Amino acid sequence: MPGRVSSRQEFAEFGRSPWKASSGPLRVVFVPSEDGIRGAYAISKRVGGAVVRNKIRRRLRSVLDESAKSIQPGKYLIRCGVETKGLSYDELRTHLLRALQRLESKSPSSYPRRGGSH
């Protein structure tokens, strides 16, 4: 299961990261790291109350966990737009997987690749 991003310093790294991708209401920011996969979630109160936001967070965490073997090690910030509120699990999953795939396709030479060095 992916770990969590919790320190202020780690969150600041997301602001400096050039690796960003989006799909639908989801925006994903990536910071390379050799510490495995760690996730952070930014879900505005405009999306809904705590129950709704926590449900979305659990669903996103589940998809990130499911994707752990196929994505690069690092920290992922997943930001949710207001439109996230009405999405089903399958729609959320589709958008997150698409955004992760777009991140993978933007891989510059400094992006850590699994199974090789670039």
Domain ranges (residues) in the chain: 3-105
How is residue 55 written in tokens? 């449900």
Q: What is the pLDDT of residue 115?
A: 46
Q: What is the pLDDT of residue 106?
A: 79
CB 59 within 8 A of CB 1: no
CA distances from 82 to 22, 23, 26, 56 (A): 14, 13, 10, 12
pTM value? 0.85
pLDDT tens-place string over residues 2-18: 788 888 998 899 999 99
pLDDT tens-place string over residues 76-87: 999 999 999 999
Residue 113 has pLDDT above 80, yes or no: no
CB atoms within 10 A of CB 10: 16
The H-or-E segment that residue 30 falls in is: strand 26-32
CATH topology of domain 3-105: Ribosomal Protein S5; domain 2 (3.30.230)
Burial class from Cβ neighbours inside 10 Å (0-12, 13-18, 19+) for residue 23 reads: middle
**Bridge pairing between strands 26-32 and 37-43:** unpaired
How is residue 110 written in tokens? 């400094």
Q: What is the pLDDT of residue 3?
A: 85
